[in-house]
Structure 1
Amino acid sequence: MNRLPVVVLTGFLGSGKTTQLNAWLEQRQDLAVLINELGDIGIDQHLTRKAGVPVTLLAGGCVCCVVQGALSSTLRNLFMARKNGDIPEFSMVVLETTGAAEPSGVLAPLEQDPWLKKRFYCQSVLTVVDVAAGAASIQRHPECLEQIQAADLLLLSRTDQVAASELTAFKQQLAALNPEAACYPTPVPAEVLDRQFERRCRITGRLNSVVPSSALLSPMVSVPGTTTTPSRHQLYSASVIWEYPLSWGHWQAALKQLASQCGDALVRVKGLLKVEGLDGPLLVQWVGGAEPELTPMNQWPDDDTRTRVVLIVRHNDADFPHQQMAHWESLLEQLRSAPTH
């Protein structure tokens, strides 16, 4: 039986995974796409723009730990639907993970489930790295470091937002963290999907190689502010669905308030806002510490025209984001009844 390749597309929250995925979908029509969302509301599946490509949402937690069972059953269902002719006969699966996923946990079902192992194999782990966030993101977010060290290739986003000297220095840091992974600026052509790499053990490295004795004499490279100790995240999400439109001025005030409420705990905000005067939603993609990216869309991606916002924070209290979103929804109600300026 010919096994189907699975490409794992990973990278920290807001690094640009969906943008890269869309570039591939413009070039390839033989893909099936699985999108894993940390929150219980999916946004990214609405941002993939290729008709005829099967897109499946795995929401409600990281595929590396919370929804592994959902990944297994989804791959089974995809395989059988393909076999029965219910969906286009894709030749590859691209799995876009949450930004909090640890790649070795993502691969576990492919390596441990006998049924899946006969029908699928991991072809590559491709990690998108936000160059503008740079070393600060690696230092603050252990997941970012895990994803870099697990990568077969590193896909560098936002390279145009840093000086050439900064880019060179950052590439040197990445080479120290993962000497085997080459770096490519995004968007990377779809040909990269066909490259196959040997799988590695997260502890010992490539499974079929032995480090030459001479390498033991090489000096170790120290990267300040990083650790190689695997760390599970304290990333928690909450969401709001709200049916009323607001003026853009009121939405600006609401987003500013949300940032103030969350402070340094804010990691990511994604959502579709219902703005007065717009035919479609305003797409918000916001990484903590940066300015929100706001994109008007010509039409709503589905029949649901309500505002949908997902908040992701790093905090030691899992209830923190729910408390913030409840407070924020109360603010939206106040703004709804306030006069527009």
Structure 2
Amino acid sequence: MEIIQIAGFLGSGKTTAILSITKRLMEKGYKVSIIVNEIGDIAIDGKVMEVSGIKVKEVLGGCICCELAINLSQTIKIIRDEYKPDIAIIEPTGLASPSQIRESINMLNRVNFKPIITLVDIQLMDEFLNDEQIRGIITRQIKDADVLAINKIDVVEDKLLLKYEQILKSLNPSAKLVKISALKNIGIDELITVLGV
């Protein structure tokens, strides 16, 4: 089973991107499961995905990279053994550290990690990078990424896009940059190709 982790801060478009990627993968004949982590009691993203007819296994409570690492591993085992998907997509909380999530489940048998994707909301970059509380989390997610998916490119000017491409490259020079609009399905095929699926 291949594991795709899509990180990103709240509002970056993770759920929309996951739905777009999942639909495209299913069109290609892959069986896909999605693991959603939510902080709090109401799993809004899980409901959205259930309405779309996609199987969702929710891990409720705290951050999966910390408190629920054991439960995440158990969830992955259950999905792997019961649903037998080709691909499982993990949507961690916006506070999660992608590298810690990878480490917490890296020892499982019969799972292979695809490159870590961090989704970056191009509209909110200034706000996030200027907020001391958020900046550290965003920077860690950017540095943990193998692929930086710059989302919402359809609503920003090319000049601003170029500025943030340079900032992202300075924070993580080894990451592959992919420009997408999850909402309009722009760049989704390229993102899937970069993942090697």
Structure 1 counterpart of 2:15, which letter? T
**Contact persistence 1:123–1:195 (CA under 8 A):** no
Question: 1:28 aligns to what SS in structure 2?
Answer: helix
Matched, 1:172 2:166: yes
Task: Please give the alpha-carbon distance, in whole angstroms, between the structure 2 residues aligned to 1:60 and 1:46.
Answer: 16
Q: CA deviation at 1:58?
A: 1.1
Question: 1:119 aligns to what SS in structure 2?
Answer: coil
Q: Which of 20, 25, 34 in structure 2 is aligned with 1:23?
A: 20
Higher relative contact order (CA 8 A, sep 6+): 2
Counterpart residue number, 2:177: 183
Q: CA deviation at 1:139?
A: 3.6
Matched, 1:130 2:129: no
Larger Rg: 1
Question: 1:71 aligns to what SS in structure 2?
Answer: helix
Q: CA deviation at 1:192?
A: 3.3
Counterpart residue number, 1:158: 152
Task: Please give the alpha-carbon distance, in whole angstroms, between the structure 2 residues aligned to 1:196 and 1:24.
Answer: 11
Task: Please give the alpha-carbon distance, in whole angstroms, between the structure 1 residues aligned to 2:2 and 2:193.
Answer: 9
Task: Please give the alpha-carbon distance, in whole angstroms, between the structure 2 residues aligned to 1:191 and 1:170.
Answer: 19
Task: Please give the alpha-carbon distance, in whole angstroms, between the structure 2 residues aligned to 1:194 and 1:94.
Answer: 16
Q: CA deviation at 1:143?
A: 1.1
Matched, 1:45 2:42: no
Counterpart residue number, 1:100: 95
List aligned pairs for 1:255-294, cutoff 5 A: none
Structure 1 counterpart of 2:95, which letter? A
Structure 2 counterpart of 1:152, which letter? D
List aligned pairs for 1:140-155, cutoff 5 A: 140=131, 141=134, 142-155=136-149
**Contact persistence 2:178–2:190 (CA under 8 A):** no
Task: Please give the alpha-carbon distance, in whole angstroms, between the structure 1 residues aligned to 2:91 and 2:14.
Answer: 7
Question: 1:62 aligns to what SS in structure 2?
Answer: coil
**Contiguous gaps of at least 5 residues in structure 2:** none
Q: CA deviation at 1:183?
A: 2.0
Task: Please give the alpha-carbon distance, in whole angstroms, between the structure 1 residues aligned to 2:193 and 2:162.
Answer: 28
**Contact persistence 2:120–2:148 (CA under 8 A):** yes
Structure 2 counterpart of 1:100, which letter? L
Q: CA deviation at 1:190?
A: 4.7
Q: CA deviation at 1:194?
A: 5.8
C-alpha deviations, 1:90-125, integer Å up to 9, x for none? 2011101110001111112222x4xx1x21121110
Q: CA deviation at 1:128?
A: 0.6
Structure 1 counterpart of 2:99, which letter? S
Task: Please give the alpha-carbon distance, in whole angstroms, between the structure 1 residues aligned to 2:150 and 2:159.
Answer: 15
Counterpart residue number, 2:68: 67
Task: Please give the alpha-carbon distance, in whole angstroms, between the structure 2 residues aligned to 1:180 and 1:28.
Answer: 26
Structure 2 counterpart of 1:136, which letter? E
Seen in structure 2, the aligned counterparts of structure 1 residues 38 and 153 have a Cα distance that, compared at 3 Å, is same
Task: Please give the alpha-carbon distance, in whole angstroms, between the structure 2 residues aligned to 1:22 and 1:35.
Answer: 12
